[in-house]
Amino acid sequence: MSAHPTQASPAVSPGPLPWTCPFCALHCDGFEPQAQGGRFSLQGTDCARAQAGLSHFAVEVSAAVPALIDGAPASLEAALQAAAAVLAQARLPLFGGLVTDIAGSRALYTLANASGAILDHVHGEAQMHGLRALQDRGLLTTTVAEVREHADLMVCLGTQPGERYPEFFHRCGFGREAPGRVRNLVFLGALPPAEGLAPGVQVSHVRLEGDVFDTLALLNALAAGRRLREPAPAVLQGLAQRLQEARYAVLVWDMVQAPAHSTLVVQGLHRLVDTLNRGTRAAALLLGGNDGAQSVNQTLTWLSGLPLRTGVLARGLTHEPVLFAADRLLRQQAVDALLWVASFGPEPAPPPTPLPGVVLGHPALAAQASRPGCVFIPVSTPGLGSAGHLSRFDSVVVLPLRPLRADGLPTVAEVASRLADLVAAAKKGQI
Amino acid sequence: MTTVRLRGGRVFDPVHGVDGERRDLVFRDGRFIAPSPDLRFDEDLDASGCIVMAGGIDMHSHIGGGKVNLARMLLPEDHRIHRTPQQWLETTAAHAGPALDLASCGHCAPGTLATGYRYVEMGYTAAFEPAMVFSNARQAHLEMGDIPILDHGAYVMLGNEDLLLHWLAEDAPPERIRDYVGWAINASKALGVKVVNPGGISAFKFNQRSLDVDERHSHYGVTPRRVLHALARAVHELGVPHPLHIHASNLGVAGNIASTLATIEALEGLPGHLTHVQFHSYGSEGTRKFSSAAQQLAEAVNRHPNVSIDVGQILFGQTVTASGDTMRQHANSGLGTPRKWIEADIECDAGCGVVPFRYREQSYVNALQWSIGLEIFLRVDDPWRVVLTTDHPNGAPFTSYPHLIKLLMNKGFRDEQLARLHPEVAAQSPLREIRRELSLYEVAVMTRAGPARLLGLKDRGHLGVGAAADITVYREGGDLEAMFTTPRWVFKDGTRVASEGRLVATPVGGVHHVAPDYDRTVERHIGDFVRRHGSVHPGHLAIGTDELCVCANGGRLLACALHAPGQAS
């Protein structure tokens, strides 16, 4: 360094930002979409998930999709007024779907305050199992770079992560461009992928002993050196030994495999990791948090102090991880309006309900939001039509999203902020 | 353009040596201006019977970032017990309107909204996150951006990342380390650099369970002493005003005074700020092999003008400890109450550990910790080098500051509290013999002027012409704890934000950061390393200025002036 000028901050990273994929919670940022035949396609990966996500977006945005009130086209302003009326008149609205980014989550929380709403994500059920285990016992976790650099053994419990997360093994250093050292990969109760793993990776398959709960209980007993009524199968004994001998073992669970009581699985993982860490190093890696679930959960937690499935109720903030499940609230008619947010694509569609509704969604959701009593406002998709931020599944890294082109649509954050002002004003008028 | 006069208050402004004199203060457009006879005032506020200080500045408080959010997730009960529905309704109704005060809760791990509200109601106008993990910096800025009213900023955690340890292991030249540190500060939009258990967080990933100052990291062969010196030198040479912020080795370990003193020596005279020193001032004497080393620590600080400290006082009750020090947090994970904990190894960069904790008066260890913290406050001669903190939430939530101030200002109150503690501590604590009571002037140094100076914030922490009009007006007389809990008025950049403990406005706070210059060729080396070993595109490492504005919710970017390179802070 030659001098110490004290003026402006130096630009740290000139040039355009890399593109971040919003379509799963790995949020890969190493691939650049190219326009081909009016659609986007990704170079350098055959990730089916990303390609499917991109397929819902044309390179050239055609004529603007109008907002709808009771199925009839309306101006954005009229739709905002109608949506605010729905929320202002509701006594207990539910905010569901919540497929949005961090800016959207921030604004939706302000709107929830204005409307007195309960918030749940479309993946709330899967999130809840991990969350409850965390609230009850805690967890020792790791992150992608840590796995890539330090893990010598990965055990995938009941899951082949590559099926739902095509880039998972690559990102974790078990796929192409893997570090050239010995690494073990065990599929416990799941079949290994047919291809895509690096040659140096030693893959094995171990069958479950009973169900996933039984298997984990046995592994826990073996790792802790507890006496068993009858000897465990040799293959599980071998796995317990490998876990204890590994320098850094990683246990992978996908929260979407949500059998009833899967909270117990996460608790069992925590116990196993805790035991292993008495002698060596080990950590859990929970997959999940797609469609903004991770981002919304993080944002709600920092703003309010409480995670998803919380209501901003008259009696104060109320967190009910079981009672505030969106489908349950709708089934039992415990709520009287539904605001549905789905800004990443035509899914998830709003659940069928006769309740007054507001849908902030991808333009392709118009057809499913055109019933009487429903207001539809098309919104921009972060990472396609607008900038934004999303939190990666391992809950440390937040990535910026770069739009591929303008789509002329308002963001969820912009719509929710306007609605918050309108609802607050309407409620003031009611008093 | 609104001109406000604050008339007739007793002013404590240590930067200008003002010690309780009656003065009028005048401010316009968020800044103090010189009083003059021909000024007309839009507001003329009578502050007679009041004490006037600059807004409080908390330079070490875990207010935003991944581990704080994990603490929130871990403790739903913390958010259920401290406000009954009735209280919630009352406080909500008391505020000016529904849009002013969004719902947010929590006692030891409050939501960001509650964090801003509670700090401001107590007369604080700035708080700094001391442990921003580089790979989590965006989240930290997003969270801090959602803390209303308060100005904020963060120190980026370095000293455990594979990249730096790798370079130190191969004896990279000091210039390379300096440029790397300059890059990291810029890229993460930090105000300073913190090192936590130098090398120890990384060593724990390689299954080392302790790492003393001269012990070698089993993989990199580097010692904490080497890491400390390299970082302290880099920060100093870059001209960053805040000295290296140091969470020393062996946190909480009996006898750790030795490594704390070794840490001070490792600085070799370079500026360094030792944080939460209470947790690092333990001897190993007596039948319980756990004793106070407060005197040794205080003597070392008195002897080393290059060293400043904050205390990390503990106070009794339920809290949660949240630290980057995975090695020590894992060792303590079995001691938590309630018995649950979170830990994470993070991105070949850092780590975090969250362990709930209840400090008990009848616990010998906790009582001694309480006594050690207070001893340190009262034994260090120069108040400009001691900052009042509880290491929120690790020693206690920040809302207990008024109680702590009363303990420091009132010997009788201190003795009463001491008498309630574990009998051995109550009978033997050297605190009994310490007669010092801090003055309001000294409190103003430790809670405003001192931290502002240590951070290089030239227009904060004082009431001089040109400074930002961050002002707290306390009603004089009565109980000190009550006085510091509920100021009469709080102004932020000239806007009244709280009156009698109630919010009246919620403007967006600004972000303090520093932008040292560095040789950009280092970015190529960093990019190469991250491409091989990282998990994000190198182009995503740095937070741009526009992006920081988005994270900060449109708050102002407050760039801190650099010192001349190598100038002492």
SS3 for B506-539 is CCCCCEEEECCCCCCCHHHHHHHHHHHHCCCCHH
- List all residues 6 or more positions away from B148 whose beta carbon is below 8 Å from its beta carbon: B112, B113, B116, B117, B120, B506, B507, B508, B509
* B175 part of contact set with chain A, CB < 8 Å: yes
Residue at B546 is within a domain = no
Chain B residues touching residue A113 (CB < 8 angstroms): 98, 102-103
Cα of B67 to nearest chain A Cα, Å: 9
Residue at B121 is within a domain = yes
Cβ-defined contact of A138 to B143 (cutoff 8 Å)? no
Cβ-defined contact of B348 to A113 (cutoff 8 Å)? no
Query: What is the domain range of residue B141?
Result: 56-455
Cβ-defined contact of B347 to A146 (cutoff 8 Å)? yes
Closest by Cβ to A18, choosing from B88, B135, B537: B537
Cβ-defined contact of B535 to A143 (cutoff 8 Å)? yes
The confidence score (pLDDT) of residue A16 equals 79
How many Å apart are CA B447 and CA B450, to the nearest integer? 7
Cβ-defined contact of B103 to A312 (cutoff 8 Å)? yes
Q: Residue B112's closest CA among B86, B148, B87, B140?
A: B148
Cβ-defined contact of B347 to A395 (cutoff 8 Å)? no
Residue at B272 is within a domain = yes
pLDDT top residue among B542 and A180: B542
**Which DSSP symbol is given to B190?**
-
- List all residues 6 or more positions away from A312 whose beta carbon is below 8 Å from its beta carbon: A112, A113, A115, A116, A117, A118, A304, B103
The confidence score (pLDDT) of residue A177 equals 66
Cβ-defined contact of A298 to B69 (cutoff 8 Å)? yes
How many Å apart are CA A299 and CA A279, to the nearest integer? 36
Residue at B492 is within a domain = no
Q: Is it true that the peptide bond before B393 is cis, omega within 30 degrees of 0?
A: yes
Residue at B486 is within a domain = no
pLDDT tier for residue A431 given thresholds of 50, 70 and 90:
low
Cβ-defined contact of A396 to B519 (cutoff 8 Å)? no
Cβ-defined contact of A303 to B146 (cutoff 8 Å)? yes
Q: Is B120 helix (H, G, I), strand (E, B) or coil?
A: helix
C-alpha distances out from residue B87 to A10, A118, B468, Å? 49, 21, 34
Residue at B164 is within a domain = yes
How many Å apart are CA B523 and CA B183, to the nearest integer? 8
Q: Is the ipTM value over 0.90, yes or no? A: yes
How many Å apart are CA A356 and CA A120, to the nearest integer? 18
Which two three-digit tokens encode residue B53? Answer: 């200080």
Cβ-defined contact of B98 to A427 (cutoff 8 Å)? yes
The confidence score (pLDDT) of residue A200 equals 86
Cα of B193 to nearest chain A Cα, Å: 17
* B142 part of contact set with chain A, CB < 8 Å: yes
User: Which of B540, B562, B563, B567 would best serve as a mutation to test chain A binding (most A beta carbons within 10 A)?
Assistant: B540
The CATH number for B181's domain is: 3.20.20
Domains with residue ranges and CATH for chain A:
67-123+291-393+401-430 (3.40.50), 128-287 (3.40.228.10)
How many Å apart are CA B145 and CA A373, to the nearest integer? 37
Chain A residues touching residue B142 (CB < 8 angstroms): 102, 299, 302, 389, 398
Chain A residues touching residue B88 (CB < 8 angstroms): 315-317
Question: Are B197 and B279 within 8 A, CB to CB?
Answer: no
pLDDT of residue A269 exceeding 50, the answer is yes
Where do we find the tokens 């465990």? A232
The confidence score (pLDDT) of residue A10 equals 39
How many Å apart are CA A287 and CA B416, to the nearest integer? 53
Closest by Cβ to A10, choosing from B112, B239, B520: B520
Where do we find the tokens 């008339």? B7
Q: Residue B542's closest CA among B562, B558, B522, B563?
A: B522
* B211 part of contact set with chain A, CB < 8 Å: no
Cα of A384 to nearest chain B Cα, Å: 17
The confidence score (pLDDT) of residue B98 equals 42
User: Which of A2, A9, A139 would best serve as a mutation to test chain B binding (most B beta carbons within 10 A)?
Assistant: A9
Cβ-defined contact of A13 to B544 (cutoff 8 Å)? yes
* B539 part of contact set with chain A, CB < 8 Å: yes
Q: Residue A233's closest CA among A250, A249, A246, A214?
A: A214
The structural domain count of chain B equals 1
Return the bridge partners of B244, or none: B272
- State mean pLDDT over A117-138: 95
Quickly list H helices, A65-152.
76-89, 102-115, 124-136, 144-150
Residue at B316 is within a domain = yes
Chain B residues touching residue A138 (CB < 8 angstroms): 74, 340-343, 354
Residues of chain B with pLDDT under 70: 1, 80-100, 566-569
Rounded to 10 deg, the angle between the A124-136 and B66-74 helix axes is: 80
Q: Tell me which H or E stretch contains B483.
A: helix B480-485
Q: How many Cβ atoms are within 10 Å of B46's Cβ, its own excluded?
A: 11
Residue at B217 is within a domain = yes
pLDDT digits (tens, 9 = 90+) for A330-345: 999 999 999 999 999 9
Question: Are A280 and A110 within 8 A, CB to CB?
Answer: no
CA A36 to chain centre: 29
How many Å apart are CA A390 and CA A237, to the nearest integer? 41
User: Which of B83, B86, B132, B139 would best serve as a mutation to test chain A binding (most A beta carbons within 10 A)?
Assistant: B139
User: Which of A1, A140, A142, A153 would best serve as a mutation to test chain B binding (most B beta carbons within 10 A)?
Assistant: A1
Closest by Cβ to A395, choosing from B66, B114, B537: B66
Cα of A408 to nearest chain B Cα, Å: 20
The confidence score (pLDDT) of residue A162 equals 96
Question: Are A39 and A58 within 8 A, CB to CB?
Answer: yes
* B160 part of contact set with chain A, CB < 8 Å: no
pLDDT tier for residue A259 given thresholds of 50, 70 and 90:
confident
Q: To 10 degrees, the CA torsion angle through B9, B13, B19, B23?
A: -30
Where do we find the tokens 């006898």? B255
Burial A178-195 (b: 16+ CB within 10 A, else e): beeeebbbbbbbbebbee
Cβ-defined contact of A398 to B139 (cutoff 8 Å)? yes
pLDDT digits (tens, 9 = 90+) for A188-227: 999 999 988 988 899 999 999 999 999 999 999 999 999 9
Chain B segment 59-118 residues within 8 A of A by beta carbon are 64, 66, 68-70, 72-76, 78-80, 83, 85, 88-89, 98-99, 102-106, 109-114
- State mean pLDDT over A130-158: 96
